[in-house]
Amino acid sequence: MQNSFEQALSDLFEWCRARNFAGDDPFDALNSRIFQATPFARSDTPRLVWTQLIKRSPVNLRRLALVPAQTNAKGIALFALAALANYRRLKTIESENEARDLLDNLIGLRISSYSGAAWGYNFDWQSRHFFAPRGTPMIVPTAFAARALLQAADTLQEQRYLDIARSSCEFILHDLRRTVEKDDELCFSYSPIDNTCVFNASLLAAETLASVGAITGETEFCDFAVRAGRYVVKRQRGDGAWMYGAAANQAWVDNFHTAYVLQSLSLITKTCGAADARLFGEALQRGYKFWRERFFLADGWPKYYDDALYPADTHSGAAAIVTLLELRAVDNEALPLAQEVANWLLNNMRDSRGFFYYQRNRLYTVRAPFMRWSQAWTAYALARLLEEGGL
């Protein structure tokens, strides 16, 4: 089995390298030169409708809509994490060079006009709650960039990677809004321009602070991380689930955002949560139990939502593999499930040319090869699974 998964990872990297790790994204529709030439480009509802239309189409309409293939900072961070895992496993000069090249690319994409290093998306983004112009710094790509840089500092033993990751903490503390702030809890916003309370986003900010603080010894970073952890833990549902966010129209529960919460909460507990170890530990156990029981079928099929079979989503499966590996201490059966999910992805979502499809729906499969959403996450997941000896 290991050889087949090594080949799948090799083929995937080769396919992505040939395109310089640039491609389409589920949310890049507003880059359409046709749409931008219309008056609708200046209105929230048309922007949201256009984004969803292009995203959900069973046929990739981006070339017709003149949406260019581009590099995405979060995607590059995920590829860098995959390359670092490859280097730790293979110890070859080729794997080291690839990791360094991707890290240099990532550093070159940072936004430097804020208090510290930050990263954003390569497209205008219209959500249900706010509009973020292209290049607005966002905590999700920033947190994954920091994760890659921190792993690079440890793996490659270079201080400059740690320095840039440390700088991102200044962005988190001085530029992100704190949409809730009390003595014992807080919630970080998604960006410097919104006031949303999105649970996984706030915890990704906290994860970054906790990870950096554990290395630099800056205990105040842990104080912020633990307060953010308390905010999310206290809003866990009775059945163990977390909704996407605190607003009434953010009440859905999905696979990969739950996985993000579990990963970040686990890391905060390990590095900073001594005083709240019981509170965080119990929440983690209940959240993991809900996620494990409600999001996976017996053959490894990764459901997108807890209450629906479709769509099956490559991103959900790949993020689940990474989460299962990180939470093996919580569940002795996590590794076998990670193997089953990986096997399901290769058998059901992989194209013969080496890339992975977006989603499988009841009546059709969306075969669009989204670079960040599907390829980068699957590369990260397979590289980590190979590193852990799980294939």
CA dihedral (87, 90, 94, 97) in degrees, to 10, reads: 10
What is the per-residue pLDDT for 178? 95
Write down the pLDDT at residue 1: 54
Give the chain's end-to-end CA distance (angstroms, integer).
Answer: 6
Ordered by start, the domain boundaries in the chain are 29-69, 72-86+95-175
Tell me the sheet residues that pair with 275: none
Coil, helix or strand for 58?
coil
**pLDDT value at residue 233:** 96
- Beta-ladder partners of 254: 305
Question: Cβ(199)–Cβ(179) under 8 Å?
Answer: no
B/e letters for 305-343, b = 16+ CB within 10 Å, e = fewer, are: bbeeeebbbbbbbbbbbbbbbbbeebeeebbebbbbbbb
Kind of pairing between the strands at 359-360 and 365-366: antiparallel
pLDDT digits (tens, 9 = 90+) for 144-191: 999 999 999 999 999 999 999 999 999 999 999 999 989 999 999 999
> What is the pLDDT, as a whole number, of residue 113?
87
In this predicted structure, what is the pLDDT of residue 391? Answer: 53
Confidence (pTM):
0.96
pLDDT number for residue 390: 52
Ordered alpha helix ranges (H), 117-254:
139-156, 159-174, 199-216, 219-233
Who's near 143: CB < 8 A, 6+ residues apart? 168, 204, 205, 207, 208
For the chain, residues with pLDDT lower than 70 are: 1-3, 274-275, 390-391
Distance CA 238, CA 324 (A): 22
